[in-house]
Structure 1
C-alpha cells in the first residue's frame, strides 16, 4: 500500500551463478545485497497503520532462481521465483520487516555484446584445489530499539555477538562450519518475566548457543548462512533458534569485515551485526 509504506527503491550489488546451460537457455541463482529507501515510515500520529517498518533506510536482500533465454548477443529475458527481504535489524521500532515471495520477469540489455559463435573455446586449466581448515573468530556489535506501538520514542540497547567457528573448505567456492555463540542483548532488561529491569544482572543478558553454517566464496567476498539454537538463555523473548545471514569482505589474509542479520526463529530480525572476523589456518590438505 503506497499510502502507508511509500514507494521504496533500492541500490545493490548482485552476483549471478549459472548452474545449467543448454543452448540459449541457462538456469541461474541470482543474489543481491544493498540498501533500500522508503518514503513513508511509522508515525504514531500521521502514519499509525504502518507497523512494519520505522526507518527510511533499510537493508535489502534478494535471492532468485531464474531461467535465462538469450535472444540476441545484447538482449536476454528471464523468469523465476524468489524472495525479497527488507529490514532495519531492529535498530528502529516497529520492525517486522517485509518478506516478499513471488514470481519475477525481466529483460536484460548488455552494452558490450557477448561473443558470437566462433572457434572452440579454449579453457584455461583450473589450478589444483586443496581443502583447508580454519578457525574463525568473529566479534560484532549493534543496537536495538524497544518501543511500544503508539509511543513517540523508544529506548535503545546495546547488543553484541561473539562466535568461534571451525571451518572446512571442501570446494573452491564452498565451505561448511560449526561454531559456538556468546550473544549479549541489553534489551533483556525488559523481557525477563518476574524480574524488575533494574534487578536484571549482566549475566542474564547473555545467550549461549551453537550453530551450523554454510559459506559461499566469491574472490574476497563470503556469503554466509548460519542455523543455530540456544543451550542457555534466561528469556525466550528471542525464540528458541536463530538464523544468521550476511556477508564478509576479506581485507587481508587473516582479517575480514562483516555485516549480518541475526533473526529470531529464522523470521524476524533481532539485530544487525557489524563486526570483524579473524581467520587462523589450522590444516591444509594437499591435492592427491
Structure 2
C-alpha cells in the first residue's frame, strides 16, 4: 500500500500540473518566453534480478512504486546544450514497496539528464541517466534481519537509467511510457552488499508548459578550442570498505593515477593511464587465510587503463576499463572497471566520485581530487 504521505504528495503534484500551464502562459505574455519545464507523476512496476544464489530467497514479489519529478529544459545558454540536442535537467523522487518484510520500502531522490533521441511537435523519445541517494526501511542486521543480503546499510547510492516515450494528449498534457533500470548499492562500504537491480516498467503523465520545444534564437557555439589537444591528469583517491559480514571494521583504500588524454570532439575525451592501489582490507584477509610460515605476498597492485569521458560542460560521465600488471596477491580478477562523475572546479582542478568494480561486484567507492595540466 502506498503511504498516506505519498498520496498527499501525489495530489500536490497533480495540482501543480494543473496550475503550471496557466502560470507559464501568463508569464509569457508579460515578460517574454517562459522557461520550459515538465512536471510528471508516474506509476512503476518492477522485478528484481536474481543475480546470485545468495538472493534467490528474496526474489518472490514484484515491487511497485511511484515517481514524482520536475524537469527543466536547457535552451542553449551554454554551448553543451546544443551539442547534446538540448537535454533536460531533472529531479526525481521515488517510493517503492517491495512487498517483502525483509526488504521493506525504499525512498529515493536523484538528479538526471534526459537526452532527446527523437523529437517532433507532439512526440519524443528520450534517454535519461542520473544518480542520487536511496534510503531503505529495512537493512541487514545479524540479529534481526540476517536474510537481507541485498542491502546492508539503510543509505545507498542510486543509479537511474531509462528510455521514455512521451506522446501529446493535449497542448500541455502528455502520456509517458518507459523502460528503465534502478540500481541500489552502498559501494561495499558495508557488507553484505549484493545490491538491487530492478528493471522497471513506467506509465504516467507529464505536464509540459511549452510544447513544441523552442530553443533560444542564437548562433550555434563554435567547436571548443581544445579539440585535438593533449593533456595530463594527476590524481589521488580515498575510499573505505568493509571486508565481510563478520569483520565490521572499515579499511582505507588509496590509489594514485597518472593519465594522458586527448579532447576528441565537442562531447568526448579519451584517456590512457597507469595507477597504483593500496587496499588495507587485503592485509587483514591475508592474516586470516595465509600460511604465516611463509612470506606474505604484497597486497599493493598496479594497473593500466583506457578511459572515456562524456562531457557536459564542467561535468563528465567517466568510464574506465583497467588491467592489473602488478598483482602478487590475486584477490580478484585480472581486470577492473570504474564508473563515476567528474566535475571541474576550475580549468585545472577537478573532483571525482566513482565506483571501482570487479566483474560487476562493487569493490570500493572512491573520492578523488586531481589536477589537469
TM-score between the two structures when normalised by the length of structure 1: 0.85
For structure 1, which segment, 92-101 or 184-193, has the greater mean C-alpha deviation from structure 2 after superposition? Answer: 184-193
Q: Distance in 2 between matches of 1:181 and 1:222?
A: 20
For structure 1, which segment, 136-145 or 185-194, has the greater mean C-alpha deviation from structure 2 after superposition? Answer: 185-194
Q: Quote the offset at 1:217 in angstroms.
A: 1.3
Task: Indicate the SS of the match to 2:264.
Answer: strand
* Corresponding residue to 1:127 among 205, 209, 222: 222
Equivalent residues in 2 for 1:200-211 (5 A)? 200=296, 204-211=298-305
Q: Distance in 2 between matches of 1:198 and 1:97?
A: 37
Equivalent residues in 2 for 1:208-219 (5 A)? 208-219=302-313
The question of whether the paired residues in 1 share the 8 Å contact of 2:276 and 2:301 is answered with yes
2:287 corresponds to 1:194: no
2:187 corresponds to 1:92: no
2:201 corresponds to 1:114: no
For structure 1, which segment, 270-279 or 230-239, has the greater mean C-alpha deviation from structure 2 after superposition? Answer: 230-239
2:236 match: 139
5+ residue gaps, structure 2? 1-97
Q: Distance in 1 between matches of 2:322 and 2:279?
A: 17
Higher gyration radius (CA): 2
The question of whether the paired residues in 1 share the 8 Å contact of 2:122 and 2:211 is answered with no
Q: Quote the offset at 1:66 in angstroms.
A: 2.5
Task: Indicate the SS of the match to 1:205.
Answer: coil
Task: Indicate the SS of the match to 1:188.
Answer: helix
2:355 match: 261
Q: Distance in 1 between matches of 2:372 and 2:242?
A: 32
Equivalent residues in 2 for 1:212-231 (5 A)? 212-231=306-325
* Corresponding residue to 1:155 among 249, 268, 277: 249
2:180 match: 82
Q: Deviations over 1:213-256 (max 9, x none)?
A: 12111122111111122112123323222111110121111111
Change (3 A) 1:117 1:66: closer
2:368 corresponds to 1:275: yes
1:50 match: 148
2:276 match: 182
The question of whether the paired residues in 1 share the 8 Å contact of 2:116 and 2:126 is answered with yes
Change (3 A) 1:21 1:205: same
Q: Deviations over 1:68-93 (max 9, x none)?
A: 32334433333333322111111111
* Corresponding residue to 1:40 among 120, 132, 138: 138
The question of whether the paired residues in 1 share the 8 Å contact of 2:290 and 2:296 is answered with no
5+ residue gaps, structure 1? 281-288
Change (3 A) 1:200 1:89: farther
Pick the structure with more helix per residue: 2
Q: Distance in 1 between matches of 2:362 and 2:340?
A: 12
Q: Using CA pairs under 8 Å that are at least 6 residues apart, name the structure with larger relative contact order, 1 or 2.
A: 1
The question of whether the paired residues in 2 share the 8 Å contact of 1:142 and 1:272 is answered with yes
Q: Quote the offset at 1:29 in angstroms.
A: 1.8
* Corresponding residue to 2:202 among 104, 111, 121: 104
Pick the structure with more strand per residue: 1
Q: Distance in 1 between matches of 2:119 and 2:213?
A: 15
Change (3 A) 1:50 1:116: closer
Change (3 A) 1:224 1:129: same
The question of whether the paired residues in 2 share the 8 Å contact of 1:238 and 1:270 is answered with no
1:286 match: none
Task: Indicate the SS of the match to 2:281.
Answer: helix
RMSD: 2.5
The question of whether the paired residues in 2 share the 8 Å contact of 1:189 and 1:200 is answered with no
Change (3 A) 1:66 1:180: farther
The question of whether the paired residues in 2 share the 8 Å contact of 1:190 and 1:197 is answered with no
